[in-house]
């Protein structure tokens, strides 16, 4: 996984508790910020899918290059 994707993934993971807990007081939010929570979950899923897609494409190119040498 690329460095910038790891940084964005960390921000998404940190966003989940922020959606559920009030940062200034530390108490649970009475109505939690559901859109923020689900947006963070969706962002994590998108980053993981994109990263695996990108790694698979790189691996396919490397395998094709290795096969063409023979």
Token reading at 49:
């899918």
- Do 47 and 8 touch, CB atoms closer than 8 A? yes
pLDDT band, very low/low/confident/very high, at 70 (cuts 50, 70, 90): low
Phi, psi of 30, deg, nearest 5: -65, -60
Q: Is residue 8 very low, low, confident or very high in pLDDT (cuts 50, 70, 90)?
A: very high
Dihedral angle of Cα 16, 19, 20, 24, to the nearest 10 degrees: 120
Condensed to tens digits (0 to 9), the pLDDT of residues 10-48 reads 999 999 999 999 988 889 988 989 999 999 999 999 999
Domain residue spans in the chain? Answer: 3-69
Q: Which pTM was predicted?
A: 0.79
């Amino acid at each position: 996984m690329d460095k910038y994707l790891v940084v964005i993934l960390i921000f998404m993971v940190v966003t989940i508790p922020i959606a559920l807990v009030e940062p200034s007081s530390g108490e649970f939010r009475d109505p939690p910020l559901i859109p923020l929570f689900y947006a963070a979950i969706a962002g994590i899923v998108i980053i993981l899918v994109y990263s695996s897609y990108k790694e698979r494409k790189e691996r396919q190119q490397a395998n094709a290059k290795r096969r063409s040498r023979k």
